[in-house]
């Protein structure tokens, strides 16, 4: 069965020194590069927000980063400004091997809705188009790595499982933000959904 490696958001802003740095985010780049050779296809995702994006705390009067707010589509964490379209922070980590990527899919480019998952925006209904791409290429087995374990990796893996793909996450090729227990919750949700944590 054709097997795709999906590398989530290995971007400067999620690595130390970046605007929304994940502890140890840079440590997984070498492992991810090595893993690429074992797959039939490699897909990269890129968090890609306009300056007026609704997920940025500084676009909400009086709000602080890491607070939550209610959006039309449900609860949303407000983040420090990150991965602004065309910025250095939105670029891929300089050591990430881009040569093996068949597809780079951008997400979060609509100002009024965030998109953690590579498959659906945060309303969990508006598709990014990735499922169609994978199905047309018969890539039915998916392995997820990248940043951050408890947000974009977990949401992507959960959606993939819901869509009927066979899904695993290589946890030592991820790092977590771990906001209010979000890492444990993500692991539990993924296990329950039948995602294999390796
Ligand atoms: C992410 C928060 C906001 C992620 C992206 O890649 O996990 N987290 N935008
Ligand atoms: Zn984002």
- pLDDT tens for 114-127 read 999 999 999 999 99
Taking the CA of 108 as reference, the closest ligand is 2
pLDDT at position 151 is 97
* Angle, in degrees to the nearest 10, between helices 154-162 and 182-192: 20
* Residue 56 CB–ligand 1 contact under 6 Å: no
Judge if the beta carbon of residue 79 lies within 6 A of ligand 1.
Answer: yes
- CB distance 9 to ligand 1 below 6 Å: yes
State the CB neighbour count (10 A cutoff) for residue 146. Answer: 30
C-alpha neighbours within 13 Å on the C-beta side of residue 3:
12
Q: Which of 152, 177, 180, 186 to mutate to test the pocket of ligand 1 (most atoms within 8 A of CB)?
A: 152
79's tokens: 């983040």
Residue 11 is given by DSSP the state B
Can you tell me the mean pLDDT for 100-112? Answer: 98
The answer to whether 183 is a known catalytic residue is no
Verify whether ligand 1 is closer than 6 Å to residue 154 (CB atom). Answer: no
Hey, what are 1's tokens?
């069965």
- Model pTM score: 0.98
Is 107 marked active-site?
yes
| Residue 92: other Cβ atoms inside 10 A | 19
d(CA 123, CA 172): 29
* Mean pLDDT for the stretch of residues 28-52: 98
Question: Is residue 48 pLDDT above 90, yes or no?
Answer: yes
155 lines ligand 1 (CB under 6 A): no
Substitution candidate for ligand 1 out of 116, 145, 159 with most atoms within 8 A of CB: 116
The pLDDT, as a whole number, for residue 1 is 84
Q: What is the DSSP letter of 161?
A: H
Average pLDDT over residues 37-58: 98
Q: Average pLDDT of the chain?
A: 98
Q: What is the per-residue pLDDT across 59-97, written as a single tens digit (0 to 9) for each?
A: 999 999 999 999 999 999 999 999 999 999 999 999 999
What percent of the residues of the chain are helix, what percent strand, and what percent coil, each to the nearest 5? 25, 25, 45
What residue's CA is closest to ligand 1, atom 1?
152
**Contact between 162 and 124 (Cβ < 8 Å):** no
**One of 107, 114, 150, 159 is an active-site residue; which one?**
107
pLDDT in tens, 128-187: 999 999 999 999 999 999 999 999 999 999 999 999 999 999 999 999 999 999 999 999
Tell me the CA–centroid distance for residue 116 and ligand 1, in Å: 6
Ligand 1 within 6 A of 148 CB? yes
- Residue 12's contacts (CB-CB under 8 Å, 6 or more residues apart) are 18, 88, 89, 90, 91, 92, 93, 94
């Amino acid at each position: 069965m054709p097997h795709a490696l999906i590398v989530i958001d290995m971007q400067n802003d999620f690595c130390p020194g970046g605007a929304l740095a994940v502890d140890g985010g840079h440590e997984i780049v070498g492992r991810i590069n090595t893993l690429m050779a074992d797959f039939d296809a490699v897909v990269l995702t890129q968090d890609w927000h306009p300056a007026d994006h609704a997920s940025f705390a500084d676009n909400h009067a009086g709000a602080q980063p890491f607070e939550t707010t209610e959006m039309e589509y449900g609860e949303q964490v407000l983040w420090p400004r990150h991965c602004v379209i065309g910025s250095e922070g939105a670029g891929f980590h300089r050591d990430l091997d881009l040569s093996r990527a068949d597809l780079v899919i951008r997400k979060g480019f609509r100002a009024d809705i965030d998109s953690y998952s590579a498959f659906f925006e945060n309303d969990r209904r508006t598709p990014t188009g990735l499922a169609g791409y994978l199905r047309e290429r018969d890539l039915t087995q998916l392995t997820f790595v990248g940043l951050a374990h408890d947000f974009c990796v977990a949401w992507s893996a959960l959606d993939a499982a819901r869509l009927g793909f066979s899904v695993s996450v290589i946890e030592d090729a991820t790092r977590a933000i771990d906001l209010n227990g979000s890492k444990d919750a993500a692991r539990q949700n993924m296990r329950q959904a039948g995602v294999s944590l390796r």
